[in-house]
Amino acid sequence: MSVSVTVDLVILTVRDDELQVLVVERGNPPFEGQLALPGGYLRGRETLDEAAVRELHEETGVDGIRLHLEQLRTYSDPARDPRGRVITAAYLALGPDLPTPVAGTDAREAYWVPVKTAMQDGALAFDHVQILRDGVERARSKLEYTTIAMMFCTEPFTVGDLRRVYEVIWGMPLDPSNFRRKITRADGSLEPTGDRRVHTTGRPAALYRRGAASLLMPPFLRTHEYAS
């Protein structure tokens, strides 16, 4: 059977000490006027990955290289789109505090909203709340054993910047001292620039760039709430 295929993006960033997601206001039915994840149809001669990069560029004006982008999951409930059979491949994009989103070529308004808000039942069109929840959960667990948290930081960044990313995404305070010890000992994760940043207050902090390692070894385990 023949179906339509779309790509939807969960674009996350940390702004104002909150995890936020980029949403657009829909300009056409169905769900006209409601908020939804940005996305669009897969075109004839492109892969899903390419479509995701294209959509990302259209929505944020970012060239993609600066962002982490990965396939999240494909959603296929026959009733998920009232127009007919449409399945969507969701992608997760993570980036530093991005330029205020430009309205895409499709002339829709785009906004950053806290995920806390957008994850509420009914906050987004289609099954996008579920997609967003899955994306946030993926990000949360990937902080444990990969270095993707650094994708939320503009280089160069400090250990404190990175810690704040963890605290915001996990929603819990972390001991600054133990966090530093752990993250600085993890292999090739951090690359010191040699410079220091003078904060508004307090001792200047050493600056780092992202290192080559993509895996955190040893991993950074949260004290786990029980997952079923």
Partner DNA sequence: GAATTTAAGGTCAGGTCGACTTTAATGGGC
Partner DNA sequence: GCCCATTAAAGTCGACCTGACCTTAAATTC
Binding of its own copies by 28 (CB under 8 A): no
What six digits make up the tokens of 142? 């990937």
CA dihedral angle for residue 54, residue 58, residue 60, residue 62, rounded to 10 degrees: 50
Q: In sequence order, which residues have a C-beta less than 8 Å from that of residue 87 and are 6 or more positions away?
A: 3, 4, 5, 6, 74, 75, 76, 80
Catalytic residue list contains 109: yes
* Residue of 140, 119, 142, 141 lying closest to 131 (CA atoms): 119
* Span of 21-29, 100-108, 123-131, 214-222 interacting with its own copies by CB under 8 A: 214-222
Residue 77 interacting entry, from its own copies, DNA, none, C-beta within 5 to 8 Å by type: its own copies
Q: Which is nearer to DNA, 43 or 196 (CB)?
A: 196
In the set 42, 136, 159, 190, which binds its own copies (CB under 8 A)? Answer: 42
**Considering the rule CB under 8 A, would residue 83 count as an interface residue with its own copies?**
no
C-beta of 18 vs 144, nearer to DNA = 144
Q: Does 65 bind its own copies (CB under 8 A)?
A: no
Residues 170-209 that bind DNA (CB under 7 A): 175-178, 180-182, 184-185, 196, 198-206
- Span near its own copies by CB under 8 A; candidates 12-20, 172-180, 199-207, 208-216: 208-216
The dihedral over CA atoms of 42, 214, 131, 108, expressed in degrees to the nearest 10, equals -60
Phi and psi at 116, nearest 5°, equal -50, -40
* Residue 198 interacting partner from DNA, its own copies, none (CB closer than 5 to 8 Å by kind): DNA
The residue annotated as part of the active site, out of 46, 50, 109, 137, is: 109
> Taking contact as CB under 7 A, which single stretch among the options 30-38, 75-83, 137-145, 220-228 is the one that binds DNA?
220-228
Q: From the list 16, 17, 29, 45, which residue makes contact with its own copies (rule: CB under 8 A)?
A: 45
Residues contacting DNA: total by CB under 7 A: 26
Pairing of strands 86-94, 110-114: unpaired
**Helix or strand run (H / E) with residue 48:** helix 48-60
C-alpha angle 136/91/218, rounded to 5°?
Answer: 55
For the CB of residue 76, give the shortest distance to its own copies in the complex, in Å.
Answer: 4
Nearest one of 71, 93, 64, 96 to 168, comparing CA atoms:
96
Q: Which amino acid is at 88?
A: T
Binding status of residue 27 toward DNA by CB under 7 A: no
| 52-55: long-range pairs with CB below 8 Å, 24+ | 52/7, 52/9, 52/89, 52/91, 52/93, 55/7, 55/9
- Which residues are catalytically annotated? 109
Q: Which residues bind DNA (CB under 7 A)?
A: 158-160, 175-178, 180-182, 184-185, 196, 198-206, 218, 220-221, 223
